[in-house]
Amino acid sequence: MNTVDRLSVLKTYKLYVGGKFPRSESGRVYEVTDSKGTWLANAPLASRKDARDAVTAARKAFGGWSGATAYNRGQILYRVAEMLEGRRDQFTAEVAAAEGLSKAKAAAQVDAAIDRWVWYAGWSDKVAQIAGSANPVAGPYFNLSSPEPTGVVAVLAPQDSSFLGLVSVIAPAIVTGNTVVVAAAEDAPLPALSLAEVLATSDLPGGVVNILSGRTAELGAPLAAHQDVNALDLAGAGQELATELEKAAADNLKRVLRPGTVNWTADPGTGRLLSFLETKTVWHPMGV
């Protein structure tokens, strides 16, 4: 019998862009440590070019994803929850390492994140019913308002919650048909990069969610200035960075969701869901 301990196989973490797992085009990586400073992995340090590639992928995916039926999108979000459930232990370990939590506390975060996918999955075919309306105009017209996705949403994931926070900003944006480019929590990107592996195997079309790891400020700048990004979720930006990015976002009038203090374990409400929707009103005369 061999008494030598088995050497474990380390994972090379990669970005998730357009349904593929590229290394950063820059070839750069940065050290990710646990809360005690112990080295965990080298994460790709995504560049501005990676951010632009991710926007291109998200735009390409938008037509198909926004055109899919709400029923289909709901099924896929639920599928993500199914796939996560099977990898619960892996994510518990990663979240525990990333956030310095006990195993029990990390497991609670993962469970809440799985449940959040389920919760948002159910919104796909209901949001139009609470956010739309039939409008009784003073004339012989059929007049209906319905919500539509804003387009490509750039998301700076929360820094204080590497997985539950991450899921809480991705799911509401995509369930309504938007596609997203996510900058993962800067110091704790590994749960996000592993989530990509789950998304890739959950029937989610490539490009709907694109995940980058790196410096939030470095990735935020090109995303906020990008003319083909329609909205910005600044959850993971500090006040100073948020102000700077909101100014840049004004160039093409991106919809901006400002950062705030959020309790990620609380009921999320519909705020985030409705922030990345437009309302389209259609008029048609009625007569015979």
Per-residue b or e along 76-109, where b marks 16 or more CB atoms closer than 10 Å to that residue's CB: bbbbbbebbeebeeebbebbbbbbebeeeebbbb
Closer residue to another protein (CB): 107 or 277: 277
The CB-of-283 to another protein minimum distance in angstroms stands at: 5
Q: Specify the residue, 100 or 130, whose C-beta has the smaller distance to another protein.
A: 130
Q: Find how far residue 208's CA is from the centre of its chain.
A: 9
Evaluate whether 194 touches 24 at the Cβ level (below 8 Å). no
Nearest distance, CB of residue 203 and another protein, angstroms: 24
- b/e code 248-267 from CB counts within 10 Å (16+ = b): bbeeeebbbbebeebebeee
Question: What whole-number distance in Å separates Cα of residue 133 and Cα of residue 31?
Answer: 50
Report the residue number, 27 or 287, with the smaller CB distance to another protein.
Answer: 287
> Using the 8-state DSSP alphabet, how is residue 257 labeled?
E
For the bound state, the minimum distance from the C-beta of residue 269 to another protein, rounded and expressed in Å, comes to 5
Interacting residues with another protein (CB under 8 A): 130-131, 133, 135-139, 141, 143, 145, 150, 230, 239, 242-244, 246-247, 249-253, 255-258, 260, 262-263, 266, 268-272, 274-275, 278-285
In the beta sheet, which residues pair with residue 181? 154, 210
Q: Which is closer to another protein, CB of 5 or CB of 240?
A: 240
Specify the residue, 17 or 152, whose C-beta has the smaller distance to another protein.
152
Chain centroid to Cα 65, Å, comes to 14
Tell me the CB-side half-sphere exposure of residue 113, using CA atoms within 13 A: 27
> What are the C-alpha distances in Å from 112 to residues 85, 118, 176, 190?
11, 10, 21, 18
Min dist CB 119 to another protein, Å, is: 14
Q: Is the Cβ–Cβ distance between 14 and 21 less than 8 Å?
A: yes
CB of 91 to another protein, least distance (A): 24
Q: Which is nearer to another protein, 38 or 227 (CB)?
A: 227
Tell me the closest approach of the beta carbon of residue 59 to another protein, in angstroms.
Answer: 13
Pick between residue 189 and residue 268 the one whose CB is nearest to another protein: 268
Least distance to another protein, CB of residue 247, Å: 4
